[in-house]
């Protein structure tokens, strides 16, 4: 299982819940980037810009997809992973994991992420964040096998995802 979706859509939370329920490993790509490069996401953005971050994100994503290709794991990604062609290709081309798009309206997501200084792309004018959200819609739909409405309780979300896993 691979979870994609905008910032604040609950990817990390849902991944942990799935991992607890199924007793499987959960891998958070943002966390793996922080551990691999021993720095923070904000520092990577500050030092190398978004382009530098996307390269690192792709390297870490590919490494984890390749390593776990035959394993039952849940991988949660960062919200912008679909904007980098190589990462998008990696998501599309692997066949062993379903890709779930965790969907929610912009207003709901923005309430959760506004002013979050650990997320450089959330910490800017609402109009800019909204533009990001709009521009990414097609990409999320392109990459996803299934679209999950996250405006429901966590156990319901888990149930819906597991319906597709059997």
Which of 41, 75, 129, 144 forms a contact with ligand S3P (CB under 6 A)?
41
119 is in an annotated binding site: yes
Site membership for ligand S3P, residue 78 (CB under 6 A): yes
- Based on CB atoms, which residue is closest to ligand S3P, 23 or 51? 51
Q: How far apart are CA 140 and CA 80, in angstroms?
A: 10
111: tokens are 């309430």
Q: Is 30 in the site for ligand S3P (CB under 6 A)?
A: yes
Q: What are phi and psi of 14, to 5 degrees?
A: -70, -40
**With binding defined as CB under 6 A, does residue 79 bind ligand S3P?**
yes
CA distance 72 to 119: 29
Task: Compute the least distance from the CB of residue 85 to ligand S3P, in Å.
Answer: 15
How far apart CA 35 and CA 137 sit, in angstroms, is 29
**Beta carbon of residue 164, minimum distance to ligand S3P (angstroms, whole number):** 22
User: Which spans in 68-149 are helix H?
Assistant: 85-93, 106-113, 126-143
> Element (H or E) spanning 27, and its range?
strand 25-28
Q: Phi and psi dihedrals of 4, rounded to 5?
A: -125, 165
Q: Does 44 bind ligand S3P (CB under 6 A)?
A: no
Shortest Cβ 46–ligand S3P spacing (Å): 12
Question: Residue ranges for the binding site for ATP?
Answer: 8-13, 119
Question: Residue ranges for the binding site for substrate?
Answer: 30, 54, 79, 136
Q: Contact residues for ligand S3P (CB under 6 A)? A: 7, 11, 30, 41, 78-80, 119-121
């Amino acid at each position: 299982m691979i979870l994609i979706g905008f910032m604040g859509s609950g990817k990390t939370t849902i991944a942990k819940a799935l991992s607890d329920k199924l007793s499987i490993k959960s891998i958070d790509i943002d966390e793996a980037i922080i551990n691999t490069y021993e720095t923070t996401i904000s520092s990577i953005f500050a030092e190398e810009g978004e382009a530098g971050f996307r390269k690192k994100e792709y390297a870490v994503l590919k490494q984890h997809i390749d390593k776990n290709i035959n394993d039952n794991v849940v991988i949660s990604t960062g919200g912008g992973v679909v904007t980098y062609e190589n990462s998008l290709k990696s998501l599309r081309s692997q066949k062993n994991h379903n890709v779930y798009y965790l969907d929610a309206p912009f207003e709901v997501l923005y309430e959760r992420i506004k002013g979050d200084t650990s997320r450089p792309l959330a910490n800017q004018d609402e109009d800019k964040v909204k533009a990001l959200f709009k521009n990414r819609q097609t990409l999320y739909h392109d990459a996803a096998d299934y679209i999950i409405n996250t405006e429901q309780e966590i156990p319901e979300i888990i149930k819906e995802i597991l319906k597709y896993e059997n």
